[in-house]
């Protein structure tokens, strides 16, 4: 394939690599650096949206993880839907690859001082991937109807 379709596929692959590097890079941060980054993000959001009363760093981290993995689910769906031409056949491989990325993310934290893997985080991250797949499938279905 060449032309516009190939350019979109390349863009998707680049974005996918970027999101994985961002996710896994954050997991390789030690606990202090990760906490500082979370505080910086919380301060930034506080400036944009006003104070964030009652929001702990833990809640912010969970929302961020869910959003990161939701993005991963959308990008994986986009890439695999273009590769696997059979309608909806991309869903299962996308879910499996997303779950593997979540497992890798938690495994990397094992090597970061002051941090460790949690099964509940794998579940949350996988839920984010599944939500992203759902968003992509909704858009895909609407596009197919037109």
Given this model, what pLDDT does residue 56 score? 61
> What pLDDT sits at residue 135?
97
Alpha helices in the chain (DSSP H): 4-27, 31-49, 57-83, 91-109, 119-145
Q: What is the pLDDT of residue 116?
A: 86
What pLDDT is recorded for position 33? Answer: 84
Q: Which of 76, 126, 77, 131 is nearest to 104 (CA)?
A: 126
pLDDT (0 to 100) of residue 128:
98
Instruction: Give the integer Cα–Cα distance in Å for 127 and 124.
Output: 5
Q: Digits of tens for pLDDT over the chain (146 positions)?
A: 566 678 888 999 999 999 999 999 988 888 888 778 777 777 776 665 555 545 566 777 888 889 999 999 999 999 999 888 888 899 999 999 999 999 999 999 988 888 888 999 999 999 999 999 999 999 988 988 87
Q: How many domains does the chain have?
A: 1
Residues 47 and 56 sit within 8 Å (Cβ to Cβ): no
- State the residue range of the domain holding 84: 4-145
Cα 95–chain centre separation? 12
- CB-based contacts of 101, cutoff 8 Å, min separation 6: 20, 23, 69, 72, 125, 129
Q: Quick one: three-class SS letters along 51-63?
A: CCCCCCHHHHHHH
Compute how many other C-beta atoms are within 10 angstroms of the C-beta atom of residue 57. 14
């Amino acid at each position: 394939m060449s032309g516009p379709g190939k350019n979109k596929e390349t863009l998707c692959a680049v974005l996918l690599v970027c999101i994985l590097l961002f996710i896994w890079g954050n997991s390789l941060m030690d606990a202090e650096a990760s906490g500082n980054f979370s505080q910086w993000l919380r301060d930034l959001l506080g400036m944009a949206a006003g104070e964030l009363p009652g929001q702990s760093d833990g809640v912010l981290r969970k929302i961020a993880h869910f959003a990161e993995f939701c993005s991963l689910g959308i990008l994986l769906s986009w890439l695999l839907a273009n590769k696997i031409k059979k309608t909806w056949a991309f869903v299962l491989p996308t879910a499996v690859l997303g779950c593997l990325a979540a497992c890798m993310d938690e495994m990397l934290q094992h090597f970061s001082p002051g941090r460790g893997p949690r099964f509940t985080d794998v579940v949350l991250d996988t839920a984010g991937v599944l939500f992203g797949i759902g968003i992509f499938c909704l858009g895909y279905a609407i596009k197919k109807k037109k």
